[in-house]
Amino acid sequence: TASIWGRVAEARFGAYVASKHAIIGLTKTWARELGPRSIRVNAVCPGWVRTEASMRSLGRMAEHDGRGEAELLEGIVAGQALPGLMEPDDVAGTYLFLASDLARNITGQSLGVDRGEVPW
């Protein structure tokens, strides 16, 4: 699992952003290394998902920016093509798809599951 922040950058989250960029790089490398053994490697890059960890991050970002969490979340959702905030189950189908034979020709990819927030 990477993140949309594996494709973009966010101030004040350097270590997190760097780790997610690294996951995407490793995904590409491992796909090349393991492909000859018919092992597929892909990264899922979720956008904002309503989890305990993401809501803590939202709180820290709001506090730093001097804004309310609701206002900040409204701005995040406004930047998405599809309205609303994802729940964990909204992302699960992507993992199931990638693990299935339907994705047998997909490897070395980073798939955005972000309601259209980041242009891929």
Q: Which domains are delineated in the chain?
A: 4-113 (3.40.50.720)
Q: Which of 6, 9, 12, 16 is labelled catalytic?
A: 16
**For residue 88, is pLDDT > 90?**
yes
Q: What is the pLDDT of residue 10?
A: 82
**Is 95 in the active site?**
no
Q: Residue 105 has what pLDDT? A: 98
In this prediction the pTM is: 0.89
Nearest residue to 114 (alpha-carbon basis) of 82, 74, 75: 82
Given this model, what pLDDT does residue 38 score? 97
pLDDT computed for residue 93 by the predictor: 96
Contacts of 58 (CB under 8 A, 6+ apart): 48, 69, 72, 73, 76
Confidence of residue 27 (pLDDT cuts 50, 70, 90): very high
H or E segment to which residue 113 belongs: strand 110-113
pLDDT at res. 89: 95
- Taking the C-alpha atoms of residue 113 and residue 44, their distance in angstroms, rounded to an integer, is 7
Predicted confidence (pLDDT) at residue 120 exceeds the cutoff of 80: no
Using N-to-C axis directions, what is the helix angle for 52-65 and 69-78, rounded to 10°?
110
Question: Could you tell me which residues come within 8 angstroms of residue 53 by beta carbon, excluding any fewer than 6 positions away?
Answer: none
94 phi and psi, to 5 degrees? -65, -45
Condensed to tens digits (0 to 9), the pLDDT of residues 37-81 reads 999 999 999 999 999 999 999 999 999 989 999 999 999 999 999
Helix H or strand E segment including 46: strand 43-46
